[in-house]
Chains A and B, each alone.
Chain A
């Protein structure tokens, strides 16, 4: 049933402290809304549990991308459009820029935000595997202060996050140490734009003396949370890439993931594709990493 707007509050305090005070005053009551690309879908369908919303679209400090010598700090309400058009994101974090270009069509990229994608915590979100391989750290803020959480520890289960009831994601920080890596982003879905992934991969790797020096792999849509493949990474580190290593990597991926059957795909298809995407990346790493 369609929502009745008269039953919902939406306030726009216009500054961060006022938003945090509101959230602290009645924890878990106020739902932050930025671009609305997730919240408004639930709302329109009459499925939004919260009746009180607080606007964070117009909070300037959440909309900026700050560049430091060792890291880049992305405000939680930065849009996909701002990410994919930012020169340093494009040059040093191509997996994130590419994922931003996959997310919805242009209208949704103009409104959808990176912090919203994290807080919404869909295991199928395209930008989240990229954040896992880039070793992102998120800063959470409340009236009690700020705390930093490694993004790999942020999702504790399906749609479960480290966010406390009075907390907001303030920014996402990425270390600037991956520019020398071979990177590979692949989304497999029914259609390029506007289709949620069946499986997506974000991968980084670096070769030295013909062997894998470092490798980072993460998959979306194959488990209750976006998944970093630590076991497969350990198996690959220090090895030379060849058919038997690729085969072992494929097996290790399939062992680790927990895909499901749903409206978009089947567990069996997802497992096969997940293995193929990692194999495809390793072939690319062998070819391009040797020349680097």
Chain B
């Protein structure tokens, strides 16, 4: 243990979360995950492993999928953040969420916000993903309930609908 812990001052962090400008006062090494959940009350991102292995804390940071447990909040300064709460901002429900419901892609729900965000990120990059692309795109998101097949089917279904519409 460090014998003489120093204390750091809290600093103001400005960023955009789900389209709204936000200002929080936080220690720079606070994890983005904790700031989202505790300060902004956005509890969609979940803490699973807390070490970047499970993907349940996934959010989009400037359009990139990231694990919010591995981001010090100071590194998110000025960023544009999208959480599961902001994913269906312009509709009642996002087509991916609808497909997850139809296919049984969610059971206990802990992994679901991260799965949906990873799938959103995947379809942005690859609008017509093969099964291998879906598996790779979601490989950083662990699910202990479904066995994954229903999740892969949900993403494939949402992709097909997007291409048709």
Contacts and interface: CB of A to CB of B under 8 A. Distances in A.
A105 B27 contact: no
Contacts of A43: 29
Contacts of B142: 194
B64 to A, nearest CB: 4
Contacts of B137: 106
Contacts of A106: 65, 118, 121-122, 136-137, 139-140
B71 interface: yes
Given A51-B5, A106-B118, A107-B140, A40 B71 contact: yes
Contacts of A111: 64, 66-67, 70-71
A105 B55 contact: yes
A7 B7 contact: yes
Interface string B50-71: 1111010010000011110111
A10 to B, nearest CB: 4
A36 interface: yes
A44 B50 contact: yes
B29 A53 contact: yes
A35 B68 CA distance: 11
B136 A104 contact: no
Interface string A75-95: 000000100000000000000
Interface in A92-146: 101, 104-108, 110-111
Nearest to B68: A107
Contacts of A35: 70
A104 B70 contact: no
Given A106-B65, A107-B67, A40 B74 contact: no
Interface residues of A, number: 37
A37 interface: yes
A36 B72 contact: yes
B77 interface: yes
Contacts, number: 117
A76 B136 CA distance: 25
A40 B27 contact: no
Contacts of B58: 107
B146 interface: no
Interface string A8-38: 1111100000000000000000000101110
B48 to A, nearest CB: 12
A108 B29 CA distance: 19
Interface string A207-220: 00000000000000
A8 B141 contact: no
Interface in A59-78: none
A104 B29 contact: no
Contact of A8 (B29, B69, B118, B140): B29
A41 B52 contact: yes
A291 to B, nearest CB: 27
A106 B55 CA distance: 10
A192 B27 CA distance: 36
Given A8-B29, A12-B77, A106-B65, A40 B141 contact: no
Contacts of A101: 136
B70 A36 contact: yes
B46 interface: no
B5 A4 contact: yes
B30 A37 contact: no
A259 B27 CA distance: 42
A75 to B, nearest CB: 17
Contacts of B107: none
B140 A193 contact: yes
Contact of B70 (A5, A10, A41, A55): A41
A102 to B, nearest CB: 10
A44 B34 CA distance: 12
Interface string B29-54: 11100000000000000000011110
Contacts of A44: 31, 50-51, 69
Interface of A: 3-12, 33, 35-37, 40-41, 43-45, 49, 51, 53, 55, 57-58, 81, 101, 104-108, 110-111, 192-194
